[in-house]
C-alpha cells in the first residue's frame, strides 16, 4: 500500500503546493481523498492511470478540497473510465455533483458525448452522502468516517452549521491503517480516526510561533490544528507515522525554516516518526 501526497496546500494559491488531495494506491486501485486544485495534473506527474482513479472520498465542501472535483469526473471519463465514478462525501455532496454535471458542465458533457462519440458516451457518477460510521467494505479494503470539528465555535449561525458536516476517514487494508484527518482541530472524532494508525495524514497549518493575533489564534482553536496540538493528538492515539500537511503559503525564504520549526514543535509532544508533507511525496505503508 502506498500513499501519494498529491496536494499539501490549502485554499490560497501557492506556487509550491497544490490544494488538498491524497491518494492511497493498493495494487491497481487508486483511492482518492479530496480533489483540490491541481489534483489531476499531480496524478499525471505521479504516473497514475487516470481511468483507474476512484472511488473519491470528500472530507468537506471547502473549495481547497473539492475545487477540481469536476476535473476528476471529466478527465477520468476522457481517459477511458468504463464504470461509474463513485464519490462519497458529507451531506449535500450529491447536490454539488448534480450541479456540476447538470448545471455547470452539462454542455461540456453533451458536447463530448455527441461530438466525440468514440469516448462511448458519458460515464455516470454515483454519489453517496455519508455520515459517521462504516462507509465501504470491498473485502480488500474498507473505509469508515468520523465527524470532525472545522469551524464550529466560530459563531456561524445554527442554520448554517446544520448543513456543515466535516469528515475524516480511516482506510484499512493489509492489516494496516491510514487515517486522513480532513480539516479539523483536536476532537473526539479525530482521536477515534487516529487510534493506532500506522499513518496519520494530519492537517497542521501553523508553527507555534505563527499562532499570533486574533485571526490565527481563532484559527488554531476552531478551524485547523496547528503545531501546538497535533503532536499531542498523535501521541495519545499511538500513531506510528505522522504526516503533517495542509501548509500555509509562506514567503519562499521563510518556508523551510518554518517547516523545520513545525517538526520541532510537534516532536516535543510526539515520539513517533514525523514526515513534513511535500507535493508528490510517496509513503510506503
Catalytic residues: 64
Site string for Zn ion, 157-196 (x = CB under 5 A): --------------------------x-------------
Count of other CB atoms within 10 angstroms of residue 189: 20
Tell me which residue of 189, 186, 94 sits closest to 145, measured CA to CA.
189
Q: Which residues pair with 133 in a beta bridge?
A: 145
- Closest distance to Zn ion from the beta carbon of 8 (Å): 11
Q: How far is residue 199's CA from residue 285's CA, in Å, rounded to a whole number?
A: 8
- Closest distance to Zn ion from the beta carbon of 63 (Å): 9
Compare residues 151 and 285 and give the one whose CB is closer to Zn ion: 151
Q: Using the rule CB under 5 A, give the single segment among 4-12, 39-47, 155-163, 171-179 that binds Zn ion.
A: 4-12
Compare residues 13 and 238 and give the one whose CB is closer to Zn ion: 13
Size of the site for Zn ion (CB under 5 A): 3
Q: Using the rule CB under 5 A, give the single segment among 41-49, 61-69, 155-163, 277-285 that binds Zn ion.
A: 61-69
Which H or E run contains 199? strand 199-203
Q: How far is residue 266's CA from residue 58's CA, in Å, rounded to a whole number?
A: 27
Q: Which of 64, 68, 210, 279 binds Zn ion (CB under 5 A)?
A: 64
C-alpha cell at 98: 448534480
Compare residues 30 and 60 and give the one whose CB is closer to Zn ion: 60
According to the binding rule CB under 5 A, does residue 14 interact with Zn ion?
no
- Closest distance to Zn ion from the beta carbon of 213 (Å): 20
Distance in angstroms between the alpha carbons of the first and the last residue of the chain: 5
Compare residues 10 and 38 and give the one whose CB is closer to Zn ion: 10
Strand order in the sheet with 29-33: 125-129, 85-89, 53-57, 29-33, 21-26, 2-7, 281-284
Q: How far is residue 34's CA from residue 132's CA, in Å, rounded to a whole number?
A: 17
- Closest distance to Zn ion from the beta carbon of 223 (Å): 9
Residue listed under C-alpha cell 468514440:
118
Binding site for Zn ion (CB under 5 A): 10, 64, 183
Amino acid at each position: 500500500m502506498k500513499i501519494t501526497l498529491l496536494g499539501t496546500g490549502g485554499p490560497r494559491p501557492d506556487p509550491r503546493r497544490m490544494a488538498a488531495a491524497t491518494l492511497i494506491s493498493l495494487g491497481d486501485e487508486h483511492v482518492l481523498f479530496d480533489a483540490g486544485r491541481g489534483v489531476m495534473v499531480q496524478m499525471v506527474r505521479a504516473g497514475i492511470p487516470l481511468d483507474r482513479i476512484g472511488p473519491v472520498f470528500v472530507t468537506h465542501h471547502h473549495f481547497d478540497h473539492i475545487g477540481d472535483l469536476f476535473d476528476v469526473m471529466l478527465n477520468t471519463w476522457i481517459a477511458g473510465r468504463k464504470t461509474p465514478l463513485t464519490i462519497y462525501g458529507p451531506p449535500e455532496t450529491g447536490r454539488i455533483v448534480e450541479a456540476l454535471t447538470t448545471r455547470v458542465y452539462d454542455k461540456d458533457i453533451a458536447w463530448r458525448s455527441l461530438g466525440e462519440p468514440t469516448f462511448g458516451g458519458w460515464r455516470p457518477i454515483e454519489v453517496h452522502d455519508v455520515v459517521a460510521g462504516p462507509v465501504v467494505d470491498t473485502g480488500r479494503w474498507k473505509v469508515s468516517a468520523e465527524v470532525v470539528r472545522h469551524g464550529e465555535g466560530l459563531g456561524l449561525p445554527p442554520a448554517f452549521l446544520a448543513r456543515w458536516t466535516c469528515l475524516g476517514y480511516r482506510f484499512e487494508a493489509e492489516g494496516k491503517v491510514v487515517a486522513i484527518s480532513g480539516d479539523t482541530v483536536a476532537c473526539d472524532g479525530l482521536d477515534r480516526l487516529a487510534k493506532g494508525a500506522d499513518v496519520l495524514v494530519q492537517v497542521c497549518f501553523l508553527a507555534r510561533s505563527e499562532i499570533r493575533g486574533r485571526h490565527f489564534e481563532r484559527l488554531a482553536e476552531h478551524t485547523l490544528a496547528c503545531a501546538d496540538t497535533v503532536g499531542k493528538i498523535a501521541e495519545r492515539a499511538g500513531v506510528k507515522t505522522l504526516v503533517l500537511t495542509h501548509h500555509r503559503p509562506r514567503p519562499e525564504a521563510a518556508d523551510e525554516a518554518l517547516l523545520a520549526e513545525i517538526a520541532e514543535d510537534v516532536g516535543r509532544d510526539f515520539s513517533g516518526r514525523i514526515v513534513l508533507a511535500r507535493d508528490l511525496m510517496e509513503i510506503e505503508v
